Amino acid sequence: MQPGNTTITPEFGPPSSDSFQKLLLRISDAAARGTSADSLIQLFCRATRDFFQVNGVYFWQVASPDELVGAEADGLLAERFRGARLKADESAVAMEAVRSRRTVFVNDVDPHRYPMAAAFQARSMMAAPLVVSNEVIGAAAFLHDADANFFNEDLAAKATILAGQLGSLLEATRLTQASREEHRRVEILAEVAHALHGTPDVSAVIEALADRIRVLLRTRLVCVLLRQEGPFQLRAVAAETPQFANSIRARHDRRALRFSADLAGRAVAAGEPITVSIDPESHAFGDIVPSGMLIAAPFRTSRTQGAILIYPRQEGTFSSEEKSLVSVIAGFGAVAIANAELYGTARAHAQELHQLLEISSELGSIGKLDQFMQAIVVRAADFLGFEFSFVGLMQRSAFHVRWATVKGKPSRVDHILPEGVATRTLAAKEVFWADEASKIVGADLEFIAKLPIRQIVAVPLLGSDGQILGMFGVLDRLDRKGISEEDIRRARVLAGQVAIALELTRNLDLSEQHRQGAEALMGLALEVGKLLHLPDFAKSFAARAADITGARGVALALSQDGVLETIVLQGPTRVVCHDRSLLRRFSQALTKLLLERSEDIVRASATELLGSEFTSALGWTDCTLV
């Protein structure tokens, strides 16, 4: 071949020598030992440089159909070669070999035609393409800087064989690594499925999910965010070390949470994994997490929305295959979280049923209405997780609150719920609730300020005939969260149990009152026949009347010669009053009242009927006049 000419060799070269066979075996043995692709290319460059006795060997890698990138070199200007780029329209021996898919050698290199070869001081050049499955994956270039007529057909044939062998070994190495990686991923996927299956705790599922994804994708950091009714919250952090994880949690302030929540919201809205390029300036972990591609993979259950954030890794961007793999694992996680939520719900319902059975058993064993109501207010607050509770009965078309808890202890109160949206809702047999009690239309602001009340859930108590027996309410959640649908559901369930027990207790209480009344009437009938003296008769009659009605105090006045005279006057302790002045004033008050009221039976507060003088002296609150 004349100097400066370019020659394309035939596909097959002459038989190889012993040294050539040893070189082939050496490279094959290295590949058989599991040498990595990079190390195999390094060996190729070093060994072929010795074999061909050239000044430099260079390995080009195909980056795209239009570009080669310098991957590895040995010899002259090797450091300068690594990372160099060669475009398809540039004149170079390596590019000619790639385009022709044949080994090309050029002696007496023309520096104007091959500027890159001239820059590397080449006098002679040879390049052999690496063709695998009819696709060029790279090229090996050989350089001599002294002999202008160094390369020949024999060397070109040997270079063709060596390049073919290297291409096959690199492909085999790639397939082996891909197989190992696939096997590793299958094992991790199986481990993920096994770890997530049967885990009853949502937090444990989320922690396992984050940790397995971090290991699978070889990244430093994975975070999981969840939300149910409110904003996204950080629920799990998987990092290389516990110290790194703690550092991430400590740094997850408002800025970091806002950044993460925004990504999670975008992924949930998209309904599929999204990728975002981030830099250190865009988030709070810039000094410990490299810039690059972040994957946000969404998942959802019937109650929860969430996203897995896989932060960039040092070894490069995530592939489309890895992105799909994250989507599959997120699906596993969604199923596992849904199962854990169902388990938690079932366990909570079982515990709730057990508590309801205990409450029903306890309330069913109480025969006294007052004791029954005291038990209700304590149990209701504890069962529903609220700070205060109260119970009222329907009396005279109004809800009269009689019992409440104060600092966890039952206490008698006397408060009528004012007419408003709350009472109208209860009268319609619906649950009334509010997160800001002070903003309720028609609310008793004085009563609210006295406790003070923030939240309220009030439930009507319905009898077996559908009539409203009363109501119970709870105030202010202990955990300070908003009132949820679950709170209302549990309040309804408890109201059903309380109403049954209340109706039974009231019936028992009324039955006992009727029994006592019957006994009192019988006793009165027997005593009437025995007592002929008026004062004794009046005293006995008043006492029996109090027993029949369950009153704590009683008064009896008779009209003699048109003048009303009080014969018996007793306070709440049934102590007979002998104060003549008080008896006279009481008779005068009754006389005045009878002139003003014409009803057969008058019910009202003692103050309204008799005035504050008598209510304070006798200790009366309510009064019935017959």
Question: CATH code at 233?
Answer: 3.30.450.40
Would you say residue 355 lies in a domain? Answer: no
Q: How many Cα atoms within 13 Å fall on the side-chain side of residue 616? A: 3
What percentage of the chain exceeds 90 in pLDDT? Answer: 19
Residues 39 and 166 in one domain: yes
Residues 222 and 338 in one domain: yes
Q: Where are the beta strands (DSSP E) in 425-507?
A: 432-434, 456-462, 468-477
Contacts 24+ apart (CB under 8 A), 70-76: 71/41, 71/138, 72/38, 72/41, 72/42, 72/45, 73/45, 74/42, 74/45, 74/46, 74/49, 75/45, 75/49, 75/143, 76/120, 76/121, 76/143, 76/145
If pLDDT is split at 50, 70 and 90, which confidence band does 102 have? very high
Per-residue pLDDT, 72? 94
Please say which residue of 118, 145, 177 terminates a domain: 177
- How far is it, in rounded angstroms, from Cα 246 to Cα 218? 19
Query: pLDDT digit string (tens) for 482-496?
Result: 888 888 888 888 777
Q: For the chain, how many residues are written?
A: 626
Residues 168 and 235 in one domain: no
Would you say residue 428 lies in a domain? Answer: yes
Print the domain residue range for 238.
197-344
Residues 111 and 224 in one domain: no
Nearest to 362 by CA among 377, 348, 376: 376
Answer whether residue 2 shows pLDDT above 50: no
If pLDDT is split at 50, 70 and 90, which confidence band does 138 have? very high
Residues 410 and 457 in one domain: yes
If pLDDT is split at 50, 70 and 90, which confidence band does 463 have? confident
Residues 153 and 202 in one domain: no
Residues 173 and 224 in one domain: no
Give the residue, 457 or 439, on which the prediction is more confident.
Answer: 457
Q: What's the number of domains the chain is made of?
A: 4
Residues 321 and 399 in one domain: no
Residues 429 and 465 in one domain: yes
pTM above 0.75, yes or no: no
Tell me which of 89-103, 261-275, 370-384, 465-479 is least confident: 370-384
Would you say residue 257 lies in a domain? Answer: yes
Please say which residue of 511, 546, 576 terminates a domain: 511
Per-residue pLDDT, 5? 44
Would you say residue 312 lies in a domain? Answer: yes
Per-residue pLDDT, 459? 87
Tokens representing residue 458 in the block: 């009030």
- How far is it, in rounded angstroms, from Cα 492 to Cα 404? 19
Give the residue, 46 or 467, on which the prediction is more confident.
Answer: 46
- How far is it, in rounded angstroms, from Cα 207 to Cα 239? 11
Q: What value does the mean pLDDT take over residues 502-516?
A: 67
In the block, residue with structure tokens 């004033």? 585
Residues 99 and 157 in one domain: yes
Answer whether residue 185 shows pLDDT above 50: yes
- How far is it, in rounded angstroms, from Cα 598 to Cα 611? 19
If pLDDT is split at 50, 70 and 90, which confidence band does 534 have? low
- How far is it, in rounded angstroms, from Cα 369 to Cα 604? 22
Would you say residue 274 lies in a domain? Answer: yes
Contacts 24+ apart (CB under 8 A), 86-89: 86/60, 86/116
Residues 493 and 405 in one domain: yes
Residues 379 and 257 in one domain: no
Answer whether residue 355 shows pLDDT above 70: no
Would you say residue 190 lies in a domain? Answer: no
- Output the CA torsion 362→363→364→366 (10° steps): 100
Per-residue pLDDT, 10? 41
Would you say residue 103 lies in a domain? Answer: yes
Would you say residue 524 lies in a domain? Answer: no
Please say which residue of 177, 212, 238 terminates a domain: 177
CB 163 within 8 A of CB 136: no
- How far is it, in rounded angstroms, from Cα 184 to Cα 454? 55
Phi (first) and psi of residue 458, to 5 degrees: -120, 135
CB 102 within 8 A of CB 138: no
Give the residue, 136 or 218, on which the prediction is more confident.
Answer: 136
